[in-house]
Structure 1
């Protein structure tokens, strides 16, 4: 069964034109058949009038000559002039009996009409209907002149004429459909360009523009499309710039917070541990019962320093610009493998040259990987995470696959994923996150090198 929504516009319009044309042909054929039937009855009425007048003259002649021999009615003189194939002439007396009847034979032909047409024609019309005219002489009705046509002959004539129309329809209708389809295909050819432009916009290529069109309607669509593309490109550029500033401000806040924590809490914890060590020495000499409390204070201070060191590492990561993206990510993965104690295994693979990668892209990629690993390990409970970073031609692709819980709302749409989307959007890239039906998730990030500007492309080339 055809799907109406997927019907080609050209095919649909061509079929509609064909249907309308067929309806017009049917109306013309019906009009022709009706006109032909009326013409046949009018002709029969005229012949009946001629026959009646001829018979009246014959009877008048008989009375005028007072001839005892009368050949009334005699249809032979008039039949020589009016007879056609299938025509019947008759004279019916006042008592209703046929006093004389003369019929010409129907022509023998192999082109007989189909039964369905015969039934249709007999249902709509009344072929063979008699045309009668009274024969009157001196005010006295002598009888009727009756004219009729063989129904088979009249039906065959109608089929012969209708057949020509059907033949014309059979030839003209397919030709008309082909011409309409070709004309529509030519007129709608610019819609392919419009579709290609929309696909480019959907793929993130906001440089797509449509050329001028000949049709006024399509030219209006083209103007709106180009204006929309320009507006969207400008809006995304402004949004990306704003996102870059917000991310830069966020990173600066993180660095400031890291300095504050290091300077204040780090020194305070170091002082607490030193005081605990001093108090332990004093307790060992004067009050041995306090040694346990001193050791507990020292252990607590050491644990807090370890926690602070981890927080400082997350707030202020290694200098990616100095160490390079590859070394920074390898260190990040090694740190997660070290802290996991065998519970979560991380692996990373590189394909490409990343030494000359622009600092903007490197820093954001590091943050994206950092957030993705945190989501996979802490929120999704993944036991295996595979990372792959590739750089080909003019774009970088990051693929992260894990076997974590697919129903975790944080892993799906938490603030971590939102932050990653903002970073990717700031680099004019694309991000996709898919959840497997039986668990696990796949994160894909594609970033064009053009996001860092022409200079970055020159260095990365």
Structure 2
């Protein structure tokens, strides 16, 4: 299944903020560039208007004094007032020829604009564009006053106005992104606590609760999380209590059935064996041909009694409370070794003290081991079964490994495994059944001591 790539939330939000800031910075820079271009053209237009007006006054003065020696057009008087670096003043006659032109030199800028900026600015704003105003005297157009600015000077002025801002924004953008990332990392720090809480909930630690958070959104998540944890803890506690009662009722039914079998079938089989023995004595005197039939009845009754003893042992195991869990499990393993006659080798190892376990916990552990051994020997066809029961400071761990058929359906989904799951759930524990590392099956049961302590309190009450 294809999975989409996952990105860190802080990085994703920081990139989005950076994109918004970059767009804002670009808009601000564009605004300054457009403003600078308009100001340059407005200045050129105003100077062109001044030059045109001055030339009109010159021509009017010439006509008024009727001076035949006319030096029109004369740009010297007006150039003394309006000339700036890189500015050019010119008069274009009616034929389109430039009759007079004055240009001031353009100084070399101390910090020339980058070539990339100059090319960009030239492609967008056409620096050095002429500004022309007609010179009209008594309704007659004598020519045009033309004003232009050296493109290099105008580009340098634009760079002076907006370029430094662009550099400042380019420096500020990474700094702002770093500050945004740090702020997001601080604001999203509680998400690690939420993730840890979910992982603990997934590990069946339903006592997990989240602390209050400053952010309203995270506080809402915290309230839902804690309510869910409390509801789940209550539901599992009720389920565990119901399962415990059902298991207790099942065990009671087994004990009742064992008593009925022992009292009814046991006595009947004992009577059959006694009658077979009596009939054999009679047949030995009166009818020797019936001896084999009497022996067959006695053997059948004896076999049925052995089967009945095994059934009674499974229905009503030895009193774990009196013998203790260790002795009961050792007797169970010894019984399986005796019945298998070497076909399956069972071994068990203990690590820790189990004398203080309550009777209910010991009985459930005994039943779990009993069902596991039955599955391994009868359904999985194992030849080697190793059991290890360990008591740690905070839990009890049971490990059962065998070399049988791990894919046997009865071993995985039979009633025995279902019964084990019910008993483990009643103790608020965890059960896993999977293929072993070197073949066979591996059963793992972990029971938290908190559940054991709860059983002790229930038992004391």
Structure-1-length-normalised TM-score: 0.92
Give the equivalent residue in structure 2 for 1:349.
349
- 2:372 is aligned with 1:376: no
Matched, 1:115 2:93: no
| Within-5 A mapping of 1:1-150 | 6-109=6-109, 111-150=111-150
Please say if 1:312 is aligned against 2:309.
Answer: no
CA distance in 2, matches of 1:148, 1:204: 82
CA contact (8 A) 1:360 1:452 kept: no
CA displacement 1:7-34 (0-9 Å, x = unmatched): 3323322222222111101011111111
CA contact (8 A) 2:128 2:149 kept: yes
Distance 1:74 1:254 in 2: 128
User: Would you say 1:211 and 2:218 are equivalent positions?
Assistant: no
2:265 match: 265
Task: Tell me which residue corresponds to 2:403.
Answer: 403
- Tell me whether 1:167 sits opposite 2:167 in the alignment: yes
In 1, distance between residues paired with 2:400 and 2:43? 93
**1:455–1:373 Cα change, 3 Å:** closer
Give the secondary-structure state (helix, strand or coil) at the position aligned to 1:228: helix
TM-score, normalization by structure 2:
0.92
Show structure 1 runs of 5+ residues with no match: none
Change (3 A) 1:216 1:69: same
Query: Does residue 339 of structure 1 match 2:339?
Result: yes
Are 1:337 and 1:346, in contact at CA under 8 Å, matched by a contact in 2?
A: yes
Distance 2:129 2:264 in 1: 120
State the secondary structure of the residue aligned to 1:67.
coil
Corresponding residue of 2:155: 155
Secondary structure in 2 matching 1:453:
helix
Q: What CA deviation, in whole Å up to 9, does each residue of 1:271-326 have, x standing for no partner?
A: 22333333344444444444443333333222222221111111111111111111
Deviation string 1:132-175 (CA, Å, 9 cap, x unpaired) is 11111121111111111222222222223332112221332233
The answer as to whether partners of 1:401 and 1:441 remain within 8 angstroms in 2 is yes
4+ residue segments displaced more than 6 Å: none
Distance 1:101 1:424 in 2: 104
Mean Cα deviation higher: 152-161 or 324-333? 152-161
The answer (yes or no) to whether the contact 2:85–2:107 under 8 Å persists in 1 is yes
Aligned residue in 2 for 1:277: 277
Cα distance in structure 2, aligned partners of 1:162 and 1:235? 67
**1:327 corresponding residue in structure 2:** 327
Aligned length: 458
**SS of 2:128's equivalent?**
coil
Would the aligned equivalents of 1:396 and 1:447 in 2 still touch at CA under 8 Å? yes
Instruction: Tell which deviates more after alignment, 240-249 or 187-196.
Output: 187-196
Measured after TM superposition, the shift of residue 364 of structure 1 is 0.6
How far is the alpha carbon of 1:369 from its aligned partner?
Answer: 0.6
Paired residue for 1:358? 358
2:196 alignment counterpart: 196
Q: Does the Cα contact within 8 Å between 1:449 and 1:456 map onto a contact in 2? A: no
The whole-number CA distance in structure 2 between the counterparts of 1:440 and 1:394 is 29
Equivalence for 1:442: 442
Judging changes above 3 Å, is the alpha-carbon distance between structure 1 residues 436 and 65 closer, same or farther for their aligned structure 2 residues? farther
Q: Distance in 2 between matches of 1:285 and 1:67?
A: 182
